[in-house]
Amino acid sequence: MARRHQALRTPRAAGLVGIIFALLLGACIILVRLTLPGDPGDGSGDWFSDASRRRMVQTALGLVPFAGIFFLWFMGAVRARIGDAEDKFVATVFLGSGLLFVATLFGAAAAAGSLLASAGVSGAGSEPQLQSFGQHFTYGLLSTYSMRMAAVFTLSTSSIGHQLGVFPRWLSLLGYLVALTLLFVTDSIAWSELVFPLWALVVSLHILVAGLRRPSASASSS
């Protein structure tokens, strides 16, 4: 009985963790978009000499590790919601894309941190080639590779949820739309990366509400 009660509590607790991940990742994206130039090739490097903007980037970089940790818990929340009937092929894509998302997100944060550190040592504006390389590398990891892996994760999660019927139809359709946005739009439209934490927030809220309803249904049936 205690084991069953623990199984019922796990999705609720992990749903709360998913909400925290969505808020952290959304805050990171907002801080980066408000601070860094929208196009790393536009030659705008004045943010290096602005102490307040540099602190905003450092704050975002400090939140990234916690966002990655909570994302791993979010993956566990989704798997707990899906159960043991998941398709092994799609589940492998689900796990692989999620882990690669965290890896590329950490890589982009490390690149941005190295860029800030090198600018502080050599002096702002003294190494324009280094700044250009660092900005292109950071944006490439974040907007191209990290968001593509987020798209695959969203697509595989929505597919599993739709096949097994654990997600409502509207939530699966929302996931497909978010995946298409992350695959084809993030390179051309600024702020479009926010659709991923918004989707994660919606999924986490669904898991949380479903976890709250399940014990009530079990109590009424008994």
pLDDT digits (tens, 9 = 90+) for 35-68: 766 555 554 556 666 778 788 888 999 999 999 9
Tell me the backbone φ, ψ of residue 166, rounded to 5 degrees. -90, -15
**The pLDDT of residue 24:** 96
Nearest by Cα to 196 from 160, 146, 130:
146
**The pLDDT of residue 5:** 45
**The pLDDT of residue 175:** 96
Q: Give the residues of the chain that fall short of pLDDT 50.
A: 1-8, 43, 125-126, 217-222
In whole angstroms, what is the distance from residue 70 CA to residue 158 CA? 20
CB proximity list for 135: less than 8 A, separation 6 or greater = 36, 37, 40, 45, 115
* Helix, strand, coil fractions of the chain, as percent rounded to 5: 85, 0, 15
Burial 88-98, CB ≥16 within 10 A → b, else e: eebeebbeebb
**The pLDDT of residue 120:** 58
**The pLDDT of residue 180:** 96
- Token match 């969505």: residue? 22
Q: pTM of the full predicted structure? A: 0.84
